Amino acid sequence: MSTSTVTNPYDGSVVGEVPLLGTAEVDAAVARSRAALREPFPAHARAQVLDRVAEGLEQRAEEFARTIAAEAAKPLTTALGEVRRAASTFRFSAAVARTHAGQVLPLDASPFGEGKLGFTVRTPIGVVGAITPFNFPLNLVAHKVGPAIAVGCPIVVKPAAATPLTAVLLHALVLECGLPADRFQVVTGPGSSVGARLVEHPGVDMITFTGSPEVGWDLRARAARKRVGLELGNNAPLILAEDGDAAAVVRAVRTAGFSHAGQSCISTQRLLVHRSRYADVVEDLGAQVATLRVGDPLDPTVEMSALIDTGERDRVRSWVDEAVAAGARLVTGGTVDGTLLAPTVLADVTPDMRVCADEVFGPVVAVAPFDTLDEAIALANDSRYGLQAAIWTASLQTALTAAHDLDFGGVLVNEVPTWRADQQPYGGKRDSGNTREGPAWTAEEMTEIKTIILSGWGS
């Protein structure tokens, strides 16, 4: 069988190899998954497996983090944080396995329901096909695998071609923890063949996808008769109100705009600053961002490393150059050193620039002034995305106004839009997707409601 070589985006070194599978292997994996649906696997056993996985991740955190850092160029300290989050995701999934249930129906609330007992149960939707991205090669796999195990759905995961090793390592751990092998399988290979077959396979009942809107909506169109959950992009805005803590915002954005080179769908991308604070914030942010330590992701002192490949590096650099040519001011960064794009701050941006209108998915924060809260909210909402937004303010009234008027799936107050708890309902509107993730909410997506009616009750 032919293989695909996985390389470190920072220095091009070989990290490992994975099998280069095709449609035949996808078909075989789906067939095994469908057979697994017929085998009993009670909730207590599912919960025990999930708890063991969480423990295993904590015990092997360094191993997983080094794998993530090597194949994704995610700084080692950030990768360790991802491992801790993934352990939490599996623990919340174990809780779902123990508690996810239906409800009693108040049938005698109408005369026609007298003498009847009604209740619902949640049943597995069937086989789940999961397509995961490169930027969180462990925790975004966990957000699909954990809930699937919890509710009894066999799952076939197609990881990103650039970062498959972490998913393969997780797969081995999960099986070591007692999961029957046919309930979690990994298929590695190109999206054009392996991913496409998974999407179109008649034996797959649900597709869950995290990635770009262009790919996601096309995938949904090709899987019209399946349930399709999409978690897509964003160009996350952060509003600094006139009374907000500017120093705290600068400190927070120094990390939130550049962690993993900005390759997160909730990376802080647009910073909207009240005009009275604007000049100072731009200067302070530029100075702070210039101190970021950039380099080898396996160096524990490094805070930011390379984009996933040189093509992405060049794309992001071209967007920066395009913004500067259109009138934006380059405060810091914008330069290329080998595989690295320096962390970049742009000021005086306008909404029509691609660094504002689209998802940069790179180490760029674009800063613009505003005069009124209504203007700031309008600028934030002027987006085809709607995942998470944030505001920094000392005023409860301002916070409540923003929470009501910001048209996003999540609104954070005195926090960056990059913050996420793994147990929260996470997802957005418009081109940011059509679902909510977080184990309890994903469990709803991965199950069907079956209604049971018993007659003769109470007679």
The residues annotated as belonging to the active site are 231, 265
Structure tokens at 412: 């954070």
How many whole angstroms separate alpha carbon 97 and alpha carbon 83? Answer: 21
Provide the 3-class DSSP secondary structure of residue 427.
coil
Give yes or no for a contact between 233 and 432, defined as CB atoms under 8 angstroms apart. Answer: yes
End-to-end CA distance of the chain: give it in Å, rounded.
Answer: 66
Give yes or no for a contact between 127 and 204, defined as CB atoms under 8 angstroms apart. Answer: yes
Question: In sequence order, which residues have a C-beta less than 8 Å from that of residue 330 and are 6 or more positions away?
Answer: 320, 324, 344, 345, 346
Compute the chain's Rg from CA coordinates: 23
Using CA atoms, how far residue 303 sits from 256, 271, 307, in Å, is 11, 21, 13
How many whole angstroms separate alpha carbon 459 and alpha carbon 455? Answer: 9
- The neighbouring-strand residues paired with 410 are 388
How many whole angstroms separate alpha carbon 375 and alpha carbon 373? Answer: 5
Structure tokens at 240: 């600094």
Give yes or no for a contact between 274 and 240, defined as CB atoms under 8 angstroms apart. Answer: yes
Nearest to 296 by CA among 331, 264, 337: 337
- The H or E element spanning position 265 is none
